[in-house]
Structure 1
Amino acid sequence: MLYADRLFNAMERVEPAPGMLLVAAPGMMSVEFARSVILIIEHSEAMTLGVNLTARSELAVYNVMPDWLPAVAKPQALYIGGPLNQQSVVGLAQTKIGVDMDETPQLNRLANRLAHVDLRSDPHEIAELVDGMRLFAGYAEWAPRQLEDEIQHGEWFVAPALPADVIAPASQDLWGDVLRRQAMPLPLFATFPADLYDN
């Protein structure tokens, strides 16, 4: 633990912002967020809101929002965005090359080719604009200064998102892959086992 603390204290910290990722630190005590990768959608002095990219449910999009199937990437399952308000759904997408989000009101730009989708839009119109999208039931939310305190205590790493993170295939270890592409020392954590008894 002392070694991990030294690594964490040696890191250059990145500020949270929309379009950035919160990567759960190895050994996070919260079972709900262990090995999670949260995409930040909103961040202000009042609150932070994001969705977990890694929690796939067993519920097919076809069974709950079939009109969106043409736009949704495989696996076409509903993902669990977080513990709050799971009756609401958040749409995130990787846009096609050349799509100008400033000229496309249905898409709220989070980063290059990474968009928050207005689900009041026509699904078929969105399908023409994106390489794929995911639907997330619920979200995670932090009160003022709560996230900054958790980052300071070493519970989260902040990292840039890639558009493909949103539509990562089910077989991909997104948590490990995000850590591996960061500057040292974060790649050293990428092989941390999901269960310490497996080590």
Structure 2
Amino acid sequence: MTAALSHTGRLLVATPLLTDPNFARAVVLLLDHDAQGALGVVLNRPTPVEVASVLDGWADLTGQPPVVFQGGPVALDSALAIAVVPGEPGHGEPMGWRRVHGAIGLVDLEAPPEVLAGALGALRVFAGYAGWSPGQLEAELGEGAWHLVDCEPGDVSDPEPERLWRSVLRRQRGPLAMLTTYPEDPSLN
């Protein structure tokens, strides 16, 4: 897969027809997408678990809500973090942070939090991730399970993650914006 075909750094927004409970009305940030498959995290699934209860030192850097998010159905016993670092790419990236796309990057949770404290604009911690084998995501996109849209840094740290699905669709042009009116359960209409 060439870099031009990679969807790394873009959002997958579940179509209303995707009813798998892991992904219904999900917004997934693709952290990696290449010939080996794809990996991402669901941005809008907060859990009741506070970051402070599972990761010492990171809670003070976490935005609102300060909880762990369920990143997907795979490896729920592992954690990864995403942070936004303000500024232009290539201008001294902080140690312990690896750029994924634009201002969004992965945080090394093994690094001391105080090393990153002054550099991070927003941090979110995820338990687990979503993964696709080679060709699987392309097939799901071809079947119409997902809308592929651009990510904005604020999507990673939206203080109202439960509304993210609608807010991402609302900013799209044309028919995608109309999906925000799609009912949770169309059988009740």
Structure 1 length normalisation: TM-score? 0.86
Distance in 2 (alpha carbons) for counterparts of 1:58 and 1:40: 24
Alignment coverage as a number of residue pairs: 186
**Unmatched runs of 5 consecutive residues or more in structure 1:** 1-13
Question: Residue 4 of structure 1 aligns with which residue?
Answer: none
Distance in 1 (alpha carbons) for counterparts of 2:96 and 2:182: 39
DSSP-derived class of the 1:173 partner:
helix
Question: Is 2:124–2:157's contact at 8 Å kept on the other side of the alignment?
Answer: yes
1:151 is aligned to 2:141: yes
Give the % identical residues.
34
Question: Is 1:15–1:158's contact at 8 Å kept on the other side of the alignment?
Answer: no
Question: Residue 176 of structure 2 aligns with which residue?
Answer: 186
CA RMSD of aligned residues (A): 2.0
State how 1:165-180 maps to structure 2 within 5 Å: 165-170=155-160, 173-180=163-170
Q: Taking structure 1 as reference, are residues 171 and 87 closer, same or farther at Cα in structure 2, changes over 3 Å only?
A: closer
Q: Taking structure 1 as reference, are residues 172 and 86 closer, same or farther at Cα in structure 2, changes over 3 Å only?
A: closer
Structure 2 length normalisation: TM-score? 0.90
**Unmatched runs of 5 consecutive residues or more in structure 2:** none
Aligned AA (1:119): L
Distance in 2 (alpha carbons) for counterparts of 1:16 and 1:193: 32
Question: Is 2:31–2:100's contact at 8 Å kept on the other side of the alignment?
Answer: yes
Aligned AA (2:55): M
1:134 is aligned to 2:119: no
Q: Taking structure 1 as reference, are residues 65 and 101 closer, same or farther at Cα in structure 2, changes over 3 Å only?
A: farther
Q: Taking structure 1 as reference, are residues 55 and 44 closer, same or farther at Cα in structure 2, changes over 3 Å only?
A: same
DSSP-derived class of the 2:31 partner:
strand
Distance in 2 (alpha carbons) for counterparts of 1:90 and 1:33: 19
